[in-house]
Structure 1
Amino acid sequence: MSRRLKLALQVATDAAGLPGKAQLKTWMDAALRPGVKTAEITVRIVDAEEGQQLNRDYRGKDYATNVLTFTFDDDMPAVEGLPLFGDLVLCAPVVEREAQEQGKTLLAHYCHMIVHGTLHLQGYDHIEDDEADEMEALETQIVTTLGYDDPYRTDTE
């Protein structure tokens, strides 16, 4: 498929083990649905302070979260054939802590968070149970295709 993905990467943390731009593009391209022909996405990796501030300012939740998704126009869902624009903000300390708690490698969890956020940019959500089931199944398929374990696997053999 010929698709154009323009990715801007901003790193606003001194955290170690961050994925590079080429790795991010691979993960995002895998998460873009077939109808998306072009996408312009900014990924910003932040520290806990900025992550908490953004989550508080935009979601009214006063804690840092793993990934925040900002679409270009909340009133305009992703439409097949139209360009996709948006931003993903990943909070490095939260992603690192979750990876340790879940027994995953750091890169596997970053992959999952990028796939998760990229799906959000395209209108997927997990508020309702049926939406969550669909989104989680898609995330699992994409992440495992990329060579990582099922991100929702609960055993840590």
Structure 2
Amino acid sequence: MDWIYFIFRIPKDYNNKKYSHIKKKKKNSGESLFLHHAYSVGGCRHASYTCICGSGTNSSILHYGHAGAPNSKPVQDGDLCLFDMGANYCGYAADITCTFPANGKFTDDQKFIYNAVLDARNAVTESARDGVSWVDMHKLAGRVLLQRLKEGGMLKGDVEE
């Protein structure tokens, strides 16, 4: 278990540091900064996978950042950033995804969606245990998201339909 805690600490520590750099520099350097952190601070020799560091509309593109669409969009004030990064150490791999406002402050709409997703995540985390199926957790997350979107006036109808 110590190895698992160690490998997840590398991207977690980077996540805690990246906000100030992104906010100040407004650059698309999230991937290179993470790799430098994983290699020099974490002692890793590899990333778990190609990092995804999308901002603005690119943060909504699944697997943005691959060779055909590199992490090249400059970060703009008001953008949401989605970083999906992981380090690899001694055969153990971490995979952490986070979303954050580039300027450090969510707009009201961004905050609403972020909190809806967070509520779904928290519901799943609280309900997950041995014997509970992935399908049930997926459905729970969907119900919570739909309920929050309905409460925010973005959807109408019965959540259970």
Structure with bigger helix share is 2
Q: TM-score, normalized by length of structure 1?
A: 0.29
Structure with bigger strand share is 1
